[in-house]
Amino acid sequence: MTRQFIFLLLTLTLFSCKTQQKFDKAKWAEVADLMTFPNRKYMIDDLVKNYQLKGKKYREIVELLDKPQSSLDSTMKIFYDIDVDYGWNIDPIYSKTLLISFDKDTVVKSFAVNVWEK
């Protein structure tokens, strides 16, 4: 009984270690397979809670998060991939994205973490 409890406790500890991380610029930028970012899903909560994104200029966002994966210049929005699951196909079945919107002076007016599932 005691061994089972210790094993269960260790297992839970190991799995919970990877659920949340403090934002780290270098880890945020790490790329795994082509355009997969293995650490972002663990840092996104800390980023949006503890870093004042709203009010930052475009230049400051790029300094903090690096270049975005894509942008919509006409709408003044940029996107950062957080997590993408392709399942067994080349088309994604799940994605989580950080969307940042700027005003006409390139100051962040809003941001959101969007989740899409097929």
What pLDDT digit, counting tens, does each position of 59-88 carry? 999 999 999 988 877 789 999 999 988 888
Q: State both tokens at 40.
A: 């972002």
Q: Which residues of the chain have pLDDT under 50?
A: none
| CA dist list (Å): 28 to 12, 21, 25, 41, 46 | 25, 11, 5, 9, 12
Instruction: Report the Cα–Cα distance between both ends of the chain, in Å, rounded.
Output: 43
Domain ranges within the chain, ordered by starting residue: 21-117
Strand order in the sheet with 77-85: 70-72, 77-85, 94-102, 108-117
* pLDDT at residue 81 in the model: 94
Q: Rounded CA gap, 81 and 41, in Å? A: 9
Judge contact between 83 and 95, C-beta under 8 A.
Answer: yes
* pLDDT at residue 3 in the model: 64
CATH class of 21-117: alpha beta
